[in-house]
Amino acid sequence: MSVDPAAAQTLGTVRIVGTGLLGASIGLGLRGLGVRVLLHDPSPTALALARDMGAGELDPGDEPVSLVVVGAPPDVTASVVRAELAAHPNATVTDVASVKGGIAAELAGAGGIERYAGGHPMAGRERSGPTAARADLFLGRPWVVCPSSTGQAHERTEAVRMLAVALGATPVFMPAAEHDEAVALISHVPQLAASLVASRLVKASDPAVGLAGQGLRDVTRIADSDPMLWAQILSANAPQVAGVLKELRTDLDTVIAALDALGAGEAVGARAAVAQIVHHGREGRGRIPGKHGQPQTRYAVVTALLPDQPGQLARLFEDIGEAGINVEEFSLEHSPGARVGLGSVSVLPAAREELERALTERGWHVVA
């Protein structure tokens, strides 16, 4: 999946209201395709940062726009959409809020509602604000489009579909209620599960936490998310999320009962119950689209062992630079007290072999 300059050309001038992670990422992606992007945010800092990052220009306020994208927090999205519909009487207005049903209900009967089609790119990060924005955030990701009525004019939903296609996403048309049920299961409960598991660590002993490996990091990655944003998302989708959690509670009760039985020595059937949960988990994970349930790989990752000594990171980057390879992303995994860290260098897939060879030649231990 790649960006689509032809789709971008159909968009006309795009106004982005709310220039945080999502708004600035959309701006960056569209600017890269030559679209005129006008930015607005009540926070002067968020606005200036998005402009400085190249997400668009400050909206002078007197230019006609074809499409307005609202990237504001969920709890103000409906009122911002309403104001944008009124201020831009010919524009299509869309938003990117994570929950759609409440916004659709709040907007029922609003002036110009026939020009609004909600959206939700299924792409994000655990960081917020324009400095976390990236033009390639939406590549290969679903982008849900929720028409505001069954008979909505094609040109309105088409404008939102083209926005998604331009940014390399896959548009998926879905009614708001169906969307909200789905995201409770695939996004909101996983967020809570990550937060609940990570919360168990707060009072854990240092030696226990020191044993942490990649499994714990994988399971808790999104526990780093913004509490304010998630309080809004979870409250906007409360009944749907609670429904999934109740099913989860039934499963939890089954595992707890089995483990209690094992602990008490009355173990007939208990091992089977535990194995069944793990088996079902494998079955469920197998249903996640993408290779082995992983998100589509944009970059190849080469991991090198880094001795825990001053200057090693600088030496690694110098060696990569000398090899003429561009680093797209970098992460360092290092457990306190460990004598080595793992430096993961993300590069374009075509550069992977060359990087492995260059690092090995320069004495680095590249981890398979």
Ligand X SMILES: O=C(O)C(=O)Cc1ccc(O)cc1
Ligand Y SMILES: NC(=O)C1=CN([C@@H]2O[C@H](COP(=O)(O)OP(=O)(O)OC[C@H]3O[C@@H](n4cnc5c(N)ncnc54)[C@H](O)[C@@H]3O)[C@@H](O)[C@H]2O)C=CC1
Stretch that binds ligand X, among 40-48, 75-83, 123-131, 315-323 (CB under 6 A): 123-131
Stretch that binds ligand X, among 82-90, 122-130, 153-161, 274-282 (CB under 6 A): 122-130
| 233 vs 304, beta carbon nearer ligand Y | 233
What is the spatial distance between Cα 73 and Cα 80, in angstroms, rounded to a whole number?
10
What is the spatial distance between Cα 327 and Cα 346, in angstroms, rounded to a whole number?
6
Stretch that binds ligand Y, among 8-16, 102-110, 121-129, 196-204 (CB under 6 A): 121-129
96 binds, among ligand Y, ligand X, none (CB under 5 to 8 A by kind): ligand Y
* Token pair in block for residue 162: 């083209």
Interface residue with ligand X, options 50, 122, 133, 167 (CB under 6 A): 122
Sign for the pseudo-dihedral over CA of 125, 69, 174, 155: negative
184 lines the binding site for ligand X (CB under 6 A):
no
Minimum distance, C-beta of residue 75 to ligand Y, in the bound complex (Å): 9
Half-sphere exposure of 295 (CA within 13 A, CB side): 14
The whole-angstrom distance between residue 97's C-alpha and the CA centroid of its chain comes to 12
Minimum distance, C-beta of residue 218 to ligand X, in the bound complex (Å): 11
129 binds, among ligand Y, ligand X, none (CB under 5 to 8 A by kind): ligand Y
- Number of continuous H segments (helices) and E segments (strands) in the chain: 15, 12
Closest CA to 98 of 220, 223, 217, 226: 226
| 59 vs 356, beta carbon nearer ligand Y | 59
What is the spatial distance between Cα 205 and Cα 213, in angstroms, rounded to a whole number?
15
Minimum distance, C-beta of residue 20 to ligand Y, in the bound complex (Å): 2
Q: Give the helix/strand (H/E) hosting 342.
A: strand 340-347
What is the spatial distance between Cα 343 and Cα 355, in angstroms, rounded to a whole number?
13
What is the spatial distance between Cα 255 and Cα 284, in angstroms, rounded to a whole number?
17
157 lines the binding site for ligand X (CB under 6 A):
no
129 lines the binding site for ligand Y (CB under 6 A):
yes
Minimum distance, C-beta of residue 146 to ligand Y, in the bound complex (Å): 13
Q: Give the helix/strand (H/E) hosting 178.
A: helix 176-183
| 71 vs 147, beta carbon nearer ligand Y | 71
| 179 vs 359, beta carbon nearer ligand Y | 179
| 48 vs 182, beta carbon nearer ligand X | 182
Q: How many residues bind ligand X (CB under 6 A)?
A: 8
Q: What are the phi and psi torsion angles at 201 (to 5°)? A: -85, -15
Interface residue with ligand Y, options 3, 22, 53, 169 (CB under 6 A): 22
Length of the chain: 368
Half-sphere exposure of 290 (CA within 13 A, CB side): 12
| 205 vs 294, beta carbon nearer ligand Y | 294
Site string for ligand Y, 49-68 (x = CB under 6 A): --------------------
Where do contacts with ligand X occur on this chain (CB under 6 A)? Answer: 98, 122-126, 187, 222
